[in-house]
């Protein structure tokens, strides 16, 4: 079982080794963990269906694009979390560190920084207009759901690795962030089962 102190130590060491996030970062996401007295859970959102959102309908982390008022990517992560799920990380969370910055496959010109936060008590979730729902998922169960899924895109279908969350695939950028997280802190439980192709409900999206 993963523990906060173990996760915190390994994330802090990795953050120190990687160094500060690039000044060119265009966005940030928050990986918010809960469960100091039991199995760790992670905060996820299902993005609302919107034509102007390239990640419409996907399971993701709270986060988004950096705005002129954001001095740092960390400011972006905190602001977006407040807007999307309704609680302040400044008041309720402890920053453990960051993960390596990544670029979404459908926005390769963007650099997005993932930050890891720890909560000691469950906050009230109040999803914003860009979020269909916000919920907690069992972090330690995710590696055991590893599989290949078929995503329906505007130009056709794509097979991609994913975790399964409440019957939906968690794939693309968010999947890769979680893989980075497990690479650093260790994958809990037994080894993930081998990839297997299973039918999933289609998600409208650009390639990610």
Reported as type and span, the H/E element at residue 76 is helix 73-85
The token duo for 26 is 């265009």
pLDDT score, position 132: 93
DSSP type of residue 144: G
Task: Using alpha carbons only, give the angle 114, 164, 171 rounded to the nearest 5 degrees.
Answer: 45
Which CATH architecture describes the domain 4-198?
A: Alpha-Beta Complex (3.90)
Q: CB–CB of 61/31 below 8 Å?
A: yes
**Domain boundaries of the chain, sorted by first residue:** 4-198
The token duo for 82 is 């407040």
The token duo for 46 is 């299902």
pTM of the model: 0.86
Instruction: Give the Cα separation of 98 and 107 in Å (integer).
Output: 20
Residue by residue, pLDDT tens for the chain (208 residues) are: 778 888 999 999 999 999 998 888 999 999 999 986 778 999 999 998 776 666 668 899 999 999 999 999 999 999 999 999 999 999 889 999 999 999 876 666 779 999 999 998 999 999 999 999 999 999 999 999 999 998 887 677 879 999 999 999 999 999 999 999 999 999 765 334 333 333 333 333 333 3
pLDDT score, position 200: 38
The token duo for 83 is 């807007």
Decide the pairing of beta strands 112-119 and 93-98. antiparallel
Instruction: Give the Cα separation of 132 and 143 in Å (integer).
Output: 25
């Amino acid at each position: 079982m993963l523990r906060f102190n173990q996760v915190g130590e390994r994330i802090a060491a990795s953050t120190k080794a990687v160094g500060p996030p690039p000044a060119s970062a265009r966005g940030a996401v928050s990986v918010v963990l809960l469960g100091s007295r039991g199995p760790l859970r992670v905060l996820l959102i299902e993005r609302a269906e919107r034509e102007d959102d390239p990640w419409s309908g996907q399971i993701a982390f709270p986060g988004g694009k950096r705005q002129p008022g954001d001095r740092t990517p960390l400011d972006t992560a905190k602001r977006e979390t407040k807007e999307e799920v309704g609680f302040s990380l400044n008041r309720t969370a402890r920053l453990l560190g960051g993960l390596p910055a990544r670029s979404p496959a459908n926005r390769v010109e963007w650099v997005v920084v993932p930050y890891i936060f720890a909560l000691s008590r469950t906050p009230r979730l109040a999803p914003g207009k860009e979020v269909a729902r916000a919920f907690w998922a069992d972090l330690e169960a995710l590696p055991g759901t590893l599989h290949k899924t078929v995503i329906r895109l505007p130009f056709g279908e794509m097979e991609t690795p994913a975790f399964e969350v409440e019957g939906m695939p968690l794939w693309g950028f968010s999947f890769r962030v979680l893989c980075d997280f497990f690479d650093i802190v260790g994958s809990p439980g037994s080894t993930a089962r081998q990839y297997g192709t299973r039918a999933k409900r289609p998600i409208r999206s650009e390639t990610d």
